[in-house]
Amino acid sequence: MNRHLLSVEDLTSDDALHILDTAHELSRITDGAIRKLPTLRGRTVVNLFFEDSTRTRLSFEAAAKRLSADVISFSAKGSSVSKGESLKDTAQTLEAMGAELIIIRHGSSGAAARLANSGWVGAHVINAGDGTHEHPTQALLDAYTIRSHFDKRGGNLSGIHVGIVGDILHSRVARSNALLLTKLGASVTVVAPPTLMPIGVESWPVNVSFNFDEVLPQLDAVMMLRIQSERMDESYFPSEREYSRMYGLGSNRMKLLKSGSIIMHPGPMNRGLEIASAAADDDKSVILEQVQNGVLVRMAVLYLTMGGPQLISEGVTP
């Protein structure tokens, strides 16, 4: 395992399966009386968030604490970033306070790689979402969730068809999932209106469709994406009502779902726009399982990035 996790592109399928298997092992160990492991005792992890987050920031914090690490949380809002402090100076300040691993979310694509490769800090770096580029731990927790439903034996995802539906253009989740799920053997179809399909999508390892109703009955997992209004500086569809009618998952469209299929959403959801409450709260929805699995997968990523087996040889076990 690399000392950083910046992009799904850096992972081989064996690396990814190793992370999923480690998360599964951690779930087995922490399912009973033992909730907290001593694995990262004495290590300091920093959450460095320049963009808002609920799930990613809190689940990394929960994951680090379950491994007994000390956690420092930084939000750009209310910090000296508002006085003009740079990423370099901010990261070096946090490293001076003992940060050995930095989990960074930033609005600029490439920010995590810049931090890891600039030589500014010696800490491990994990990308928690960089602009519209990647969100690798989201893709890993999504793969873990899909595998837990369709392959109880813990293999790869061959034979599973996943649809990623909605605002593909602005979505780092879509890019990371398209890369990871296909790497693990799944077949992926991205579905969106032409205005929300990225230029160059033909080079992605996916099928492309503009017709949700045609694709939906074939899908084992339907991953609905948030409309990212905050990244939109123009109009990408005629109206919210029209978008919902064509690309939303509501009660009418639920009738087209294949038996045994699951409904996913990385959150936060725009209920009533890309997904209706009838779908989000249906028995087929695994949205809260995704959140739960996020803690396990992030525990595995922290453990493996910071040394994995080396930690065991130092006397701590996962």
The footprint of ligand CP (CB under 6 A) covers 53-56, 129, 135, 138, 266-268
Q: What angle do CA 287, 113, 162 make, to 5 degrees?
A: 30
Decide whether 90 or 138 has the Cβ nearer to ligand CP: 138
Which CB atom, from 53 or from 218, has the smaller least distance to ligand CP? 53
CB 287 within 8 A of CB 264: yes
Q: Break the chain down into helix, strand, coil percent, rounded to 5.
A: 45, 15, 40
User: CB atoms < 10 A from the CB of 253, how many?
Assistant: 19
Whole-angstrom Cα distance, residue 28 to residue 191?
A: 36
Q: Find the shortest distance in angstroms from Cβ 145 to ligand CP.
A: 12
Closer residue to ligand CP in complex, CB, 53/109: 53
Nearest to 112 by CA among 126, 91, 95, 132: 126
| 316/41 Cα distance (integer angstroms) | 9
As measured in angstroms, the least distance from the Cβ of 139 to ligand CP is 11
Q: Which is nearer to ligand CP, 98 or 267 (CB)?
A: 267
Distance CA 303, CA 310 (A): 10
Tally Cβ neighbours within 10 Å of residue 48: 28
> Which residue's CB is nearer to ligand CP, number 136 or number 307?
136
CA distance 275 to 11: 31
Nearer to ligand CP, 44 or 290 (CB): 290
Q: Least Å distance between CB 298 and ligand CP?
A: 11
Q: Which is nearer to ligand CP, 39 or 170 (CB)?
A: 170
**Least distance CB 190 / ligand CP (angstroms):** 18
Q: How far is the CB of 53 from ligand CP (least distance, A)?
A: 3
Q: Which stretches of 109-239 are DSSP H helices?
A: 111-117, 136-150, 172-183, 212-215
CB of 235 to ligand CP, least distance (A): 24
Residue 224 Cβ vs ligand CP, minimum distance, rounded to whole Å: 12
